[in-house]
Amino acid sequence: MSAYNPYDNVVSTVRSAAGKLGLEESEYIELLYPERELKVAVPVRMDDGTVKVFEGYRVQHSTLRGPGKGGIRFHQHTDENEVKALAAWMTFKCAVVGIPYGGTKGGVTVDPTKLSRGEVERLTRRFTAAIAPIIGPEQDIPAPDVNTTGENMGWLADTYSALKGSWSPGVTTGKPQEIGGSLGRPEATGRGVMIATREILKKLNLPVEKQRVVVQGMGNVGSISAKLIHELGAKIIAVSDVSEGLYKEDGLDIPDILKFLSTRGNLLKDYQKDGVKHISNQEMLVLDTDVLVPAALSNQINKDNADKIKAKIIVEGANGPTTVEADEILNKKGVVVVPDILANAGGVTVSYFEWVQNLQFFYWEEEEINSRLNVIMCKAFESVYDIHKEKNVSLRESAYILALKKLAAVKKIRGVFP
Ligand code: NAD
């Protein structure tokens, strides 16, 4: 049996969207190949004095529309194909929301929960040194992703600046505020997911107060999505993390759960409250709900469970949570999927604001950031929805059509070197 390769997903989605757009292959073929892939060995001195070597990747899929932009994840299952797919999704995501970036991504194959804080710091710094020749504020700008946070970005910025010889905050986004991080950035992806949820409900004439919502993943994206969708007035009936899921038919107390999780190391399996049932992640995905927000890892909705999904709307907080086969099954069932490259684009949008602020050394108020984010997300949502109506294709294909149209236009002007 051949292993699942998410990059194959990207190629087939792009080819299909290019067909709907009537593009010649030569107008988009370069987008099927990452521009540059770097694989590095990352030796780390462990606390016990031994040395371990981890493998890391930085993939620059496209810099057609601007410098590369994409997070860095630390995960035991991260591999080259996953990072390639994640880099490509960034290219299309930045084009959908119209921010002047290409797409990149990085990752290290490691389970950071098994490392001490000091080991994680040394890993982050050595990985930064290994990819330093190809990153930079005008070249490729990392950000946090799965199992990385502002703390890692602080170490990254410090290491890169030490190597370069001058302070260079614009090399990364998602940094702590004290060193040039933007207000609103920690909440931005979840805020974007909330906006995408709000907008799709409006289009379908569904009152938000009547919606039951399930959120998979309670990290950066999932927790803020749950918080803000709860504040919109919807009922969050289930949430989960790597340990387990929580379920309450008449709605969970989201502020209380977030308070519980804010203590470092707390997992949902240890949350105990009357009336709250503990369920598995697989049970959670197929609950009877109106909206499902997958906000954990890729490949969660696949051919094995897509048929059992009862949600009417899926808003993809995670990158690549739905496989191509699952997408076909969901489409046939009439499930409306707001795709990742639109739904979770709030993070990269505010990362763009952070980078602009770093380059100008001029900082904006949070209100301005949130209001600009809302404008960009709503505009992108409308453009994708218009294509969906006009061409009678899924929202995912519509988002790819929108992105490809912009990318192909730039390619046409820039041409092929030499
Ligand atoms: P995170 O590390 O902060 O959180 C991940 C969450 O998923 C945690 O709650 C973890 O316990 C949970 N999880 C891990 N494995 C799981 C499993 N098998 N089943 C259920 N839950 C599981 O990561 P994040 O930054 O919130 O990223 C989540 C997703 O959103 C990823 O796909 C990421 O690429 C995507 N994303 C993140 C950002 C961002 O700004 N952080 C932006 C766009 C997209």
Q: pLDDT per residue over 196-248, tens digit each?
A: 999 999 999 999 999 999 999 999 999 999 999 999 999 999 999 999 999 99
Catalytic residue, candidates 69, 105, 175, 227: 105
* Structure confidence at residue 5 (pLDDT): 87
Entry pTM: 0.96
User: Tokens 């409006």 correspond to what residue?
Assistant: 202
**The pLDDT value given to residue 410:** 98
Q: Is there a single domain that holds both residue 141 and residue 238?
A: no
Q: Are residues 215 and 244 in the same domain?
A: yes
Task: Report the CATH number at residue 200.
Answer: 3.40.50.720
- Active-site residue, 20 included: no
Domain termination site, one of 313, 334, 355: 334
134 lines ligand 1 (CB under 6 A): no
User: Mean pLDDT across the chain, nearest whole number?
Assistant: 97
What's the CA gap between 62 and 414, in Å, rounded?
A: 13
Which residue, among 46, 121, 109, 126, has the nearest Cα to 73 in the 3D structure?
Answer: 109
Q: What is the per-residue pLDDT across 50-80, written as a single tens digit (0 to 9) for each?
A: 999 999 999 999 999 999 999 999 999 999 9
Residue among 189, 258, 338 to mutate when testing ligand 1 (max atoms within 8 A of CB): 189
Sign of CA dihedral 15, 18, 20, 25: negative
Asked if 133 and 232 sit in the same domain, the reply is no
- Which among 4, 21, 9, 8 has a CA at the least distance from the CA of 399? 21
Residue 295 CB–ligand 1 contact under 6 Å: yes
pLDDT mean over 111-139: 98
Pocket lining: 351 vs ligand 1, CB cutoff 6 Å: no
Q: Does 381 map to a domain?
A: no
CA 125 to chain centroid, in Å, comes to 23
Q: How far apart (Å, rounded) are the C-alpha atoms in residues 32 and 19? A: 14
Q: Are residues 23 and 148 located together in one domain of the fold?
A: yes
The confidence band for 396, taking pLDDT boundaries of 50, 70 and 90, is very high
Q: What is the DSSP string of 177-211?
A: GGGTPPTTHHHHHHHHHHHHHHHHHHHTT--GGG-
What pLDDT score was predicted for residue 201?
98
Contacts of residues 386-391 at CB distance under 8 Å and 24 or more positions apart, as own/partner, are 391/20
**Selection from 357, 299, 42 nearest residue 169 by Cα:** 357
pLDDT confidence of residue 152: 98
Query: What are residue 294's DSSP bridge partners?
Result: 216
Q: How far is the CA of 270 from the centre of ligand 1 (A)?
A: 19
The answer to whether residues 349 and 97 touch, using CB atoms and an 8 Å cutoff, is: yes
Report, as an integer, the average pLDDT of 101-122: 98
Q: Kindly report, residue by residue over 152-189, the tens digit of the pLDDT.
A: 999 999 999 999 999 999 999 999 999 999 999 999 99
Task: Identify the pLDDT of residue 83.
Answer: 98
Q: What is the per-residue pLDDT for 203?
A: 98
The number of distinct structural domains making up the chain is: 2
Whole-angstrom CA distances from 364 to 186, 369, 371, 374 are 15, 7, 11, 15
The pLDDT confidence band at residue 264, using thresholds 50, 70 and 90, is: confident
39/110 same-domain check: yes
- Within-domain flag for 416: no
Which residues fall within 8 angstroms of residue 248, CB to CB, at 6 or more apart? 237, 238, 275, 276, 277
Domain that holds residue 127: 6-166
d(CA 111, CA 281): 20
| Contacts for 22 with CB less than 8 Å, ≥ 6 apart | none
pLDDT in tens, 278-296: 999 999 999 999 999 999 9
**102, 137, 166 - which closes a domain:** 166
Q: Over the stretch 296-344, which tens digit does the pLDDT of each residue have?
A: 999 999 999 999 999 999 999 999 999 999 999 999 999 999 999 999 9
d(CA 164, ligand 1 centre) in Å: 31
Instruction: Tell whether the model's pLDDT for residue 1 goes beyond 80.
Output: no
